[in-house]
Amino acid sequence: MSLNSFGHLFRVTTWGESHGPALGATVDGCPPNVPVTPEMLQVWLDKRRPGQNKNTTQRNEPDAVKILSGVFEGKTTGTPIQLMIENTDQRSRDYGEISQTFRPGHADITYHQKYGNRDYRGGGRSSARETAARVAAGGVARAAIKTLVPGLEIKGYMTRMGEMGIDRSTFDWDAIDQNDFWIPNGAATAQTWEEYLQALRKAHDSVGAEIEVVARGLPAGLGAPIYGKLDTDLAAAMMSINAVKGVEIGEGMAAARLKGTENADEIFLGDDGQPVYSSNHAGGILGGISTGQDVVVRFAVKPTSSILSPRKSIRIDGSATEVITKGRHDPCVGIRAVPVAEAMMACVVLDHLLLHRGQIGENQGRIG
């Protein structure tokens, strides 16, 4: 049991602090003979990387991933894969005040209360920078999934940023990669979102976000009762991302308002002999096991607590203070959560593919 690990058979342990020499992920249990190169992983890291557009932090880290083990001649060997990202942009600065002060809404105070010792530089272990390691690990998971279920697709997008919400009636899967917010709407909408965010930035404020991730093409039968449910693992995976405060599967919290007659996804037999459903209120998971429909996960990210507006707080010695967080911070950390969530989805999905194969092999139940 490592509290910095997740996954059962495909197991990821992340390590590292924001301003230490490096951070990374130790990935164990990957199938052998999967083509993996640093370039393949870099694609996903570049998507998450700060400094790429004016809506995210201006910190400029190349976030170049190195593969230190577990890959030989371009293919995984089945042994642990060590993925390292060196921290290159560690500006020399005076941490005197921040080392003694707790930022409201930040993990500063709880790390201190737990450990009595924290790396206060850039948030240390609690920095969102840790998510780079997840994205690298997710790249490995994606590569392995490709060899197991070639058509499986994983896609994340923003559905809300403060007062801005997407228009589901014009949902455009292809638009997602064509704007800075990963929204499934056109450029005009993205332009509105950008103006909203720049206004917030100028007001020295930040804002929350809602992200949705979909796994399409997942076979039926993945997951396991009762505590290794696919949705249980997905909920834990998303909740573990920095600043996430809620996770939903399918209807999510709205299910509390529904009636049974509204919520039922009726079942038919499709032309290919597989079940098809009249709807997907369940988000592709029944009893913790995938139905073969789209698996739909949604989560909310709180607004970053690192803002330029002064907030009341205390110091380690108990004295009162006011905190203004200067530095390079995203007004909406939710934007960068999109590739992180995709990575977590990929890791959980691969893990359950391997678990299912381990227990069941090719002997799953048939219909028709």
Helix (H, G, I), strand (E, B) or coil at 16: strand
Q: Pull the structure tokens for residue 82.
A: 């060590």
Beta strand residue intervals within 29-128, DSSP E: 65-69, 71-72, 75-76, 81-86
Nearer to its own copies, 94 or 174 (CB): 94
Find the length of the chain: 368
Per CB under 8 A, 138 contacts its own copies: no
Strand order in the sheet with 5-6: 5-6, 11-16, 22-28, 81-86, 65-69
Q: How far apart are CA 208 and CA 162, in angstroms?
A: 6
Using alpha carbons only, how large is the chain's radius of gyration in Å?
21
Per CB under 8 A, 366 contacts its own copies: yes
Per CB under 8 A, 65 contacts its own copies: no
> What is the nearest approach in angstroms of its own copies to the Cβ of residue 346?
16
Interface with its own copies by CB under 8 A: which range of 41-49, 61-69, 167-175, 181-189? Answer: 61-69
Nearer to its own copies, 18 or 179 (CB): 18
Binding residue (CB under 8 A) for its own copies from 43, 187, 236, 324: 236
Binding residue (CB under 8 A) for its own copies from 11, 48, 129, 142: 11
- Calculate the alpha carbon distances from 279 to 117, 265, 266 in Å: 51, 5, 7
Amino acid at 168: R
Per CB under 8 A, 235 contacts its own copies: yes
Q: Pull the structure tokens for residue 246.
A: 């809620």
Binding residue (CB under 8 A) for its own copies from 304, 338, 341, 345: 304
Tokens 């083990």: give the residue. Answer: 69
Binding residue (CB under 8 A) for its own copies from 146, 228, 280, 294: 228
Nearer to its own copies, 213 or 355 (CB): 355
Nearer to its own copies, 174 or 208 (CB): 208
Q: How far apart are CA 92 and CA 96, in angstroms?
A: 12
Stretch 26-45: interaction string toward its own copies, x if CB under 8 A: x-xxxxxx------------
Per CB under 8 A, 201 contacts its own copies: no
Nearer to its own copies, 177 or 262 (CB): 262
Residues 91-110 within binding reach of its own copies (CB under 8 A) = 102, 104-107, 109-110
Binding residue (CB under 8 A) for its own copies from 50, 138, 250, 339: 250
Helix (H, G, I), strand (E, B) or coil at 26: strand
Largest CA distance in the chain: 71
Q: Binders of its own copies: how many residues, by CB under 8 A?
A: 162
Residues 255-294 within binding reach of its own copies (CB under 8 A) = 255-269, 273, 275, 278, 281-283, 285-292
Binding residue (CB under 8 A) for its own copies from 132, 207, 338, 345: 207
Helix (H, G, I), strand (E, B) or coil at 94: coil
Please measure the distance between the N-terminal and C-terminal CA atoms of the chain and give it in whole angstroms. 42
Q: Pull the structure tokens for residue 169.
A: 């009636």
Interface with its own copies by CB under 8 A: which range of 43-51, 88-96, 190-198, 223-231? Answer: 223-231
Residues 165-194 within binding reach of its own copies (CB under 8 A) = none
CA–centroid distance for 2 within its chain: 20
